[in-house]
Amino acid sequence: MRHPLSPLAYFCILKAMSENFRKDLIIGASFIASSFLVFAVAAYFLSNAITVQAQKVSDSKNAIRAHSDLIEGLANQKALSPDVKKFEQAINLILPSKDELVNFSKWLDGLSRAHSVNVSFSFNGDAVPSTGSNAGYIKFTLNISGGYANLADFVRDVELRSAKYTTSFDSFDLKRNDNSYTSVINGRVFFR
């Protein structure tokens, strides 16, 4: 049996099928390529969004850790606060307030009479205020005259044995005059 189509008809049909196939192939390939492009762009933006969220989570964890450390430190300080109060009371016993230094010259006068020495005293310059970790102080000059043993006992009591005042000597000059000695002391008296 013979086919009712002529070879030209077959050729036209094959050519039309070939053009439709090429057209379908181009459309399919374009669809696949555009799908990959859309997926790549979406993946890029999604990756950036995930990175931003991960950074936020990391920052939040760091903030929580810092707050936790702060709370732990405050809890430790609260636990130590009775000890701090004890140290503060001890410092208050050792160091007078700045206003209490008004009585320092009277104390020196009484001590000089007890040791049989003559004393003249004066504060020098301005007071250096106390800071959180350092006591304040004011400089003084002390002129002493008397017997050697009495003078030595007086100086020892001023610098080392005072329960009321804390002092340090910056310079100490001792001279002998016949049967007595004179001394000029530059020092500091500390306050809280």
The pLDDT-based confidence of 25 (bands split at 50, 70, 90) is confident
Mean pLDDT of 33-62: 85
Cα–chain center distance at 67: 16
Strand-pairing partners, residue 120, are 143
The pLDDT-based confidence of 115 (bands split at 50, 70, 90) is very high
Q: Could you tell me if 107 and 180 lie in one domain?
A: yes
Q: Is the pLDDT of residue 1 over 70?
A: no
Distances (CA, A) of 100 to 87, 143, 191: 20, 22, 9
Nearest to 186 by CA among 135, 111, 121, 130: 121
Domain stop point among 74, 94, 114: 94
Q: Could you tell me if 89 and 105 lie in one domain?
A: no
Domain stop point among 47, 62, 94: 94
Report pLDDT for 123. 92
* Bridging pattern class, strands 180-191 and 136-146: antiparallel
Mean pLDDT of 118-129: 91
Indicate left, alpha or beta for 44 from its phi (over 0: left) and psi (-120 to 50: alpha): alpha
Per the structure, the complete domain to which residue 163 belongs is given by 98-191
Q: Could you tell me if 34 and 113 lie in one domain?
A: no
